[in-house]
Structure 1
C-alpha cells in the first residue's frame, strides 16, 4: 500500500523542514521539500517526529510487565503506543527465579508477535544498599546459570540486563551477556569509580537511569556517575519527569554526553495514564500521589508515571533542547543502542514509517507504526 503525507514539518536527524513523505509497504520511500504532491493526505502543517523508542518501561494503564500476564502486557504496550512509543522494551524487576522465568516466557511470545521489541532485566543482580523499589530479600549475586536459563526462556528476545558491577561475579556476567548479544547496563549500584570503570571495560555500555539508585557525585569520591558520564562508550538513560532528576542536572548531563549518548526513558510503572492510588510494581506495594510513585514501605521512588511524549515535550519546553536533539534522544539514540537504527529511530528513506504527529503544543495528534495508523490524526488535519 502506498500513502503520501503532505503539509508536514518533518524532524530529520539533521534539521526540521517543511515537506512531504511517501510510505510504501510500511517503509518511507520518498521525502520531499516544499509544495505537496496533488494526491497527498494533508496533515495541516503538523510536526512529524520519529516514533519513540523506550528502552526502560515497566507498565502503564494499570498493568505491569512483571505481572507475567499476556493480556495485561499487551494492554501496557498498546497504551504506550497510543502515546507515540512505537518500539519498547518490557522491563522486569527483581523477583524469584521461577517468577522471572515465567514472565520472560510470556513476554517472549509478545516479542514474536511484534508487540514489544525485547526484554530488559532490571535485577536481580543489584546492590542492596541501592535497591530502590526492588525487594531487597530477593536480590542475589550474579548467577551465570540462572542468566542462561533466562536467556533460554527469552528465546533470543532478551535485549538488556542491569547489573551492579561491584557484586561478586558481576564482571564475568557482564562479559557473558555481551557475548550473547545482550546489552549490559550499570545501575542500582554502590560501586566506586574504579569498580564502575571495570564494569565498562568488561563491556557495559548503558547507565540505567543515571543519578538514581547510585551514590551521588562527590569531588573526592566520584563514584559511578563520573565514570559513566566521561566514557564515550556509555549511553546514559535519563528520566525527564521533573521528579527523578532536577532539570539543572539534566542539562548538565546532556551537555556532557550530547544527544548521541543520551536516551530519555520513562521507567513507567502501572500508574502511567492512571490516577493517584495504590499499585504494584512486581512484589512491592506503591502509593501514587500527585503523579509521583513511591513505595508504601520506606517511600523510595518506585518508577514513574511518565510517557515518552511527555519526556519529549519536557526536553524541548523545560530543558531547551532542540527538536532535532529531542528526537535523537527519544528515538535514534536508543534505537542505535539496540542495534535497530538501520530500521527505526529516524525519518529516513528505507526505514519503517514509525511516525508521531504532534500538535502546536507538542502533544500527540497521531501515531503510525510500520505504515499503519494506530492513532489516526484528528479529522481537521488528515
Structure 2
C-alpha cells in the first residue's frame, strides 16, 4: 500500500457511464478523480508539477469492483470475528480488483454474529487501507430448513426482529443487507421493518412460492441472493422464487459467475431479464479463495475444495466459491453478449447504487473517489487503487 499521490494515467481504455474513452487520460489528486479526457486532455488542462505518470499501454481502466456477498479469502473468514481477519480478506480481494465489499456472515448463533458486527464496527473506525468495508450482509439465520445450502441447519431460526432492533441500535448504519426466507413466520413484518430502516431485504435459501415473493416485494423485498442457487426453481405452472425474481422489476438479482453454480445459459437468461440495471456480480467467496485445494471450514461445517470447487464434506452441497471479482468479470464477458462497459456496470455501478454510495464510487467521473482497476487489454490485473492509494506493492 502507498500514500495518496497525484497520478496521471495515459493511453487507457477508460470505462465510464457514457461509454469507453479510447486512449483516454485520467488525473488523480488527493484521492479523487480530478478529470477524465480523451487523448491530449492533459496538454489542454495542464498537469500539476511533480505528478507521477503511468502509461496504461492500451489497457483498461475500470471502476473498482464492489462485492456485496463475500465470506472470506486467503485463509480468513468474516465469522472469525476479528479485525485481523477482515483486513486479510480486504487485502486479498483488493489485489484482484475489489475496492469495496460487505462482510457477509453465515447462519450462526446470535453471539457469533454479534462478534462479527463488533469487529466490523471497529475496523470501519480505522484507516481501512485496502478494500473498503462498506458494511455487513447478514446471510441468515432466518432462512428455510428446506434450502440450507452450505448454511448450518443447527442455527436456522424464525425471524427475530428484536435481534435486528438491538443490532441496529448498537451498530447504527452498519447492516446494509439481510438475507432471509420470506415465507417464514414473521418474515413479512421484518421485511417491512428493514425497508423502513434503509436495510436491503433479500430473498435467499428460500422455498417461497411465486405469490409469496410477490407479496414480500410489496412489503419491501428488493433483492435476491445467489440467484438460481438455494431457492425454489422455475416451473411453468408455479414459477416459484426464481420466476418471481426473473419477472419482478422491484427485485435486483445477484449471480455467482464461476461456471459451477450457474450454467452459462442461466447467466444469459438472468442478464436478459435483469441487465443492465438490476443484476450484480458477486463472488460468495469463502476462506479457501487464493489458497488452492484442501479442507476448510465454513460456519462450523467442513468443506473440501477440489479443482477450485468448494463443497460440503457431508452431502456435497456447493459451499461458496473460490472466485475473485476479476474472474467473475471475465466469465460473464466470455459467456454473454455483454460488452466490457456493460459487465463493469454489473460489477461496480449496480452494487454502488444498491448500497446508495454511487454518488462517490462505483463509476469513474470527476469528483468521485479514485477507486479503479488497471488491467491489460486481456483483463489481467496490473494495478488497483482505493481512494487514490495503490494497493499492489
Q: Report TM bin, short chain.
A: over 0.9
Match of 1:103 in 2: 116
C-alpha distance 95-153 of structure 1, shift in aligned 2 (>3 A): farther
Conservation of the 8 A alpha-carbon contact between 2:72 and 2:89:
yes
Query: Which ranges of structure 2 fall in alignment gaps of 5 or more residues?
Result: 48-52
Q: 1:94 aligns with which of 107, 115, 127?
A: 107
Measure how far apart 1:319 and its partner are.
Answer: 2.3
Q: Structure 2 CA distance, aligned partners of 1:316 and 1:306? A: 15
Q: Please state how far the C-alpha of 1:155 moved relative to its aligned partner.
A: 3.4
Q: CA deviation at 1:318?
A: 2.6
Deviation, 1:360, is 2.4
Q: What's the CA shift for 1:259?
A: 2.1
Of 292, 304, 310, the match for 1:275: 292
Partners of 2:14 and 2:226 lie apart in 1 by 29
Where does 1:233-382 land on structure 2 (aligned, <5 Å)?
Answer: 233-375=250-392
Give the drift of 1:285: 1.0
Larger CA deviation: 323-332 vs 360-369: 360-369
Shift of residue 156, structure 1, vs aligned partner: 2.0
Deviates more, 1:263-272 or 1:25-34: 25-34
Stretch moving more, 83-92 or 308-317: 308-317
* C-alpha distance in structure 2 between counterparts of 1:229 and 1:304, whole Å: 23
- 2: CA distance, partners of 1:60 / 1:364: 18
Partner of 2:169: 152
Aligned-residue offset at 1:154: 3.0
What is the SS of the residue equivalent to 1:54?
A: strand
Partner of 2:50: none
| Equivalenced residues, count | 376
Does the 8 Å contact 2:233/2:243 carry over to 1? no
Give me the whole-angstrom Cα distance separating, in 1, the residues matched to 2:288 and 2:320: 9
Runs of 4+ in 1 over 4 A off after TM superposition: none
Equivalent residue for 1:69, pick from 79, 82, 87? 82
Asked if 1:16 is matched to 2:29, the reply is no
User: Quick check: 1:58 aligned with 2:71?
Assistant: yes
Residue 268 of structure 2 contacts residue 335 of structure 2 at CA under 8 Å; is this kept in 1?
no
Deviation at 1:153, TM superposition (A): 4.0
Corresponding residue for residue 216 of structure 1: 233
Q: 1:169-248 alignment to 2 at 5 Å?
A: 169-248=186-265
Aligned CA RMSD, in angstroms, stands at 1.3
Contact 2:58/2:377 (8 A) holds in 1 = no
1:4 aligned residue:
8
Q: What TM-score does the superposition give when structure 1 sets the normalisation length?
A: 0.96
The secondary structure found in structure 1 opposite 2:59 is: strand
Aligned residue number for residue 33 of structure 2:
28
Aligned partner of 1:45 in structure 2 is 58
Rounded to whole Å, the distance in 2 between the matches of 1:310 and 1:319 is 14
1:109 alignment partner, SS class:
helix
User: How many Å apart are 1:283 and its aligned residue?
Assistant: 1.4
Post-superposition offset of 1:73: 1.7
Deviation at 1:46, TM superposition (A): 1.5
Alignment TM-score, normalising by the size of structure 2: 0.93
TM superposition shift of 1:36:
5.7
